Amino acid sequence: MDIRLKKIRIVESKRDLEAIPQGKKLINTINAHSYNTARRDGLFAEALQKGDALIPDGASIVMACRWLKAKSRPEERIAGWDLFEMEMDRLNRTGGKCFFMGSSEKVLALIRKRAETVYPHITVETYSPPYKPEFSDEENRAIIEAINRADPDLLWIGMTAPKQEKWVYTHWDELDIRCHTGTIGAVFDFFAGTVERAPEWWQRHSLEWLYRLLKEPKRMWRRYIIGNALFLLNVMREKITV
């Protein structure tokens, strides 16, 4: 399946995000990197577009949609962190159970510890899957059974894109849940404190990507230097095609 910013449905504001009905809903994010990846990965493109909501986790997506006069024209960037805070605050007010699937035992332990203080009315359960590109059938069954057994009120999947989106999309019908599910890989590390998020000034000025590049140049240079140039090229191609 192809993906085109001109045609896909994207959540346009935080108000619209808050208005998503309760129940079994899959919420994904899209930024320049995931858009580039989806252009060459059909299953990933399908996973992003077949979810219940897609939020613009990047100022580049917001600007590109306006320039393309796209079907959806987001008013603002909505980061995965914004989704996380909104959903966790809402659940903390009523009380309930949240399930984190992904990352390492070390990160999950830090998440559980911090959640005790920040979200005292939320019971947190976690599952750390094997660290490998693909899971066996047995490993997939174990993950699905753990989630279904927990019967959470909120489910977070954190295995980095595109793995997390493709996994949830592929196994969506096997998940016997009744809650919102968000694919927010980097947020696991932000909340655990193992990765520092850009200060607010950088976020406000749409420079969070530059902050991450400066902090981790060896790991991020390809994603942001080559990736940003590729994003501009892909958007220009959309502009001149029908």
Give pLDDT tens digits for 174-223: 999 999 999 998 999 999 999 988 898 998 888 888 888 898 888 888 98
Domains of the chain: 14-30+78-240 (3.40.50.10700)
What pTM did the predictor assign?
0.94
Distance of CA 145 to the CA centre of its chain: 22
pLDDT in tens, 35-84: 999 999 999 999 999 999 999 999 999 999 999 999 999 999 999 999 99
Taking each helix axis from N to C end, the angle separating 105-118 and 185-192, rounded to the nearest 10 degrees, works out to 60
Check residue 21 and report its DSSP letter. P
In the beta sheet, which residues pair with residue 123?
97
Reduce the DSSP state of residue 183 to 3 states and report it. Answer: strand
Evaluate if residue 242 carries a pLDDT over 80. no
User: Cα–Cα distance between 30 and 51 in angstroms, integer?
Assistant: 12
